[in-house]
Amino acid sequence: MADDRMTRFDAGLFEAAADEGRRENRSARQQLEHWTRLGRELSAHETGARRRIAAALRGEVPLSALATEERLVANVELDVAIRERAATASFGRALLKEGVTAVALDDNGVLVEFDPDGASRPLDTRRVLPQG
C-alpha cells in the first residue's frame, strides 16, 4: 500500500512534471514519482562512470575528461545544484557584509536600497526606469 504523505514541490518543477506527464500519459504526481525513481536508481549504481562523474563534480577531474554521456549527467547534476542553491541564496546579505550597498524588492514589491550600516530607503523607480 502506498504512503500518501503530502509533499510540497517547487511550482516550476510541478508544472514541468505536468507538461511532461501529459506527453507520457501520466499525472503530474505520477511523473514526479517516475523522475524520483529514475534518480534513485541512477544514484544507487556505483559504477566506474558514476565514480568519474562524482570526481568531476568534486573538481578532482576536469569535465573534459568525461565521456559524452558522463558529461551530460554531470552537467545536469551541476545545473540542478546551481538552481537549488540560487533559490535559497541571499546575495544581498553577502554584499552588505562586504560593505556594498544592495538593492532588492521588499515584501510589498517595492524596490529598496539597503546600506551596509542598516539604513534603507525605497527607490523612486520613475527616476531609474526608462519612460516610454
Helix 48-57 and helix 68-88, axial crossing angle in degrees, nearest 10: 40
Residue 126 pLDDT > 70, yes or no? no
Sheet holding 111-114, edge to edge: 102-105, 111-114, 120-122
What is the tens place of the pLDDT at every residue in 48-91? 888 899 999 999 999 999 999 999 999 999 998 898 888 787 78
In the structure grid, which three cell numbers stand for residue 92, read together?
544581498
Q: Could you give the 3-state DSSP secondary structure of residue 111? A: strand
Q: Are 28 and 17 in contact (CB under 8 A)?
A: yes
pLDDT of residue 110: 86
Q: With 0-12 CB in 10 A as exposed, 13-18 as middle and 19+ as buried, what is 31? A: buried
DSSP state of 67: -
What is the tens place of the pLDDT at every residue in 17-39? 999 999 999 999 999 999 999 88
Q: Are 74 and 63 in contact (CB under 8 A)?
A: yes
Q: Where are the beta strands (DSSP E) in the chain?
A: 102-105, 111-114, 120-122
Half-sphere exposure of 1 (CA within 13 A, CB side): 2
Q: β-strand 111-114 against 102-105: which pairing, if any? A: antiparallel
Residue 131 pLDDT > 60, yes or no? no
